[in-house]
Every structure is written in structure tokens, then in C-alpha cells.
């Protein structure tokens, strides 16, 4: 039997998809995915405890202590590695999830931070003292936080590298100023330049 109804529906298939979910539903999904990625330690811990409880109440505290110790060691190891790798110009990173979200970021950071450090030491050699980027630092940290939640990664990464580029530009300016000044008179010693 020929199904006229089916033919009609097939011919107008697109028109039947007229509903749309609320626009911010993705934010909820992304938040939940984020939540799941963030807690890799906890499930192991509870699992261990649950197992212990089923075996023996009296030895449970030993296992709990062992687990706690393990977690502490893991955290301090991570913290140690972080502080080793991170540069003072850029706020400390949280490498595990971030590397997953934006593997390019590590590259961008190392590239610019190297230049920034070089310029800074040049400035120091010319007697400019410490250079700090308070506002740029906090802006950069804000952007980094947003990386966890935004689907629009490219724009953020662009803004972050612009932020780093701006530091280089400022350092260049400062270097130029100092160079000009040192041509005229002796450079001022140990002043703190706050940009």
C-alpha cells in the first residue's frame, strides 16, 4: 500500500523540526563536563574507603590514613612541579585540565615569556629596577579562568597573546626611554617602574 502520509512527511521533513532548546543549555552541559574532569582524585578515595569498610572496621583508619597521605603527596608533588615550571610574569598555571582544553596555551606562554624575561633583564641591566604588570596580570588571569567555561577558545587565546604582546611593547618603550635618557644623563638607580 502506498503511504501518502509518509511521502508527504518525508517531503516536508525539515519543517517538522520546529522546536529549539533554550539557548543556554550548552552552558549547563559544559559546566557538568567541567565538574567531571575536575574530580579525578575523589572517586578513588571513596572507593577505597568503601572497600575497607566492607572488610574490617578496625583497620579502616590505616587505609584512610594511607589514602590521605597519598593524596597529600600527590598534591604537593603537583604543587612543586607547578612552581618549578611557572614563570613569575605569568600567574601560576593549573596544567592538567588547561593542557587538555588549550594545548596551544603552553606554547604561547613559553614563547612570549622568554622574550619578556629577556627584556626585563635588559631593563634591569640599565638600572630600571623591578617591572610589574599589575593590571595586565589580573586581566590575564581573568582570561585564563574563562578558558575553562568558554566554548570560544580562539578568541580568548588571541586576547591572551595580545596581553603578552602588550607587555613586550611596553618593555620596548621603556627600554627606548631609558636609552634616550642614558644618552643625556646618568640613569637613575633602583627605582621601581610600575606600569
Partner 1 sequence: METLEYTDVNAHVVARCKEGDRKAQYELYKLYSKSMFNVAMRITNDYTEAEDVLQESFLSAFRELHTFKGDSTFGSWLKRIVINKSITKVRSRRLQVVPMEDHQDFADEGPEVDQEDLEYKVESIKKAIQSLPDGYRVVLTLYLLEGYDHGEIADILSISEATSKSQYSRARKKLLELIQEQSFFS
What residues make contact with partner 1 under the rule CB under 8 A? 3-6, 8-9, 12-13, 15-22, 25-26, 28-30, 32-33, 36-37, 100-101, 151-154
Cβ burial 45-69 (10 Å sphere, 16+ → b, else e): eeeeeeebeeeeeeeeeebeeebee
**Closest separation in Å from C-beta 152 to partner 1:** 8
Of the pair 32, 191, the CB lying nearest partner 1 is at 32
105/94 Cα distance (integer angstroms): 12
Runs of H (alpha helix) within 86-148:
95-101, 103-125, 134-147
Closest CA to 96 of 148, 33, 159: 148
**Closest separation in Å from C-beta 187 to partner 1:** 48
Of the pair 7, 117, the CB lying nearest partner 1 is at 7
Of the pair 82, 150, the CB lying nearest partner 1 is at 150
**Closest separation in Å from C-beta 49 to partner 1:** 24
Is there a contact between 164 and 116 (Cβ–Cβ < 8 Å)?
yes
Is there a contact between 126 and 189 (Cβ–Cβ < 8 Å)?
no
Of the pair 128, 160, the CB lying nearest partner 1 is at 160
149/129 Cα distance (integer angstroms): 38
**Closest separation in Å from C-beta 19 to partner 1:** 5
For residue 38 the three cell numbers come to 575536575
Of the pair 5, 125, the CB lying nearest partner 1 is at 5
**Closest separation in Å from C-beta 2 to partner 1:** 9
Amino acid at each position: 500500500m502506498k503511504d501518502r502520509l509518509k511521502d508527504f512527511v518525508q517531503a516536508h521533513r525539515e519543517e517538522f523540526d520546529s522546536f529549539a532548546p533554550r539557548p543556554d543549555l550548552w552552558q549547563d552541559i559544559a559546566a557538568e563536563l567541567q565538574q567531571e574532569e575536575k574530580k579525578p582524585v575523589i572517586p578513588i578515595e571513596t572507593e577505597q574507603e568503601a572497600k575497607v569498610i566492607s572488610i574490617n572496621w578496625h583497620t579502616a583508619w590505616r587505609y584512610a590514613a594511607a589514602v590521605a597521605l597519598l593524596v597529600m603527596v600527590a598534591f604537593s608533588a603537583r604543587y612543586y612541579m607547578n612552581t618549578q615550571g611557572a614563570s613569575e610574569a605569568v600567574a601560576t598555571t593549573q596544567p592538567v585540565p588547561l593542557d587538555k582544553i588549550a594545548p596551544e596555551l603552553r606554547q604561547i606562554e613559553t614563547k612570549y615569556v622568554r622574550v619578556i624575561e629577556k627584556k626585563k633583564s635588559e631593563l634591569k641591566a640599565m638600572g630600571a629596577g623591578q617591572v610589574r604588570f599589575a593590571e595586565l596580570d589580573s586581566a590575564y588571569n581573568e582570561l585564563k579562568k574563562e578558558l575553562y567555561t568558554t566554548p570560544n577558545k580562539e578568541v580568548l587565546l588571541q586576547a591572551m597573546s595580545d596581553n603578552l604582546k602588550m607587555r613586550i611593547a611596553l618593555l620596548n618603550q621603556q627600554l627606548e626611554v631609558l636609552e634616550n635618557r642614558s644618552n643625556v644623563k646618568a640613569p637613575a638607580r633602583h627605582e621601581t617602574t610600575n606600569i
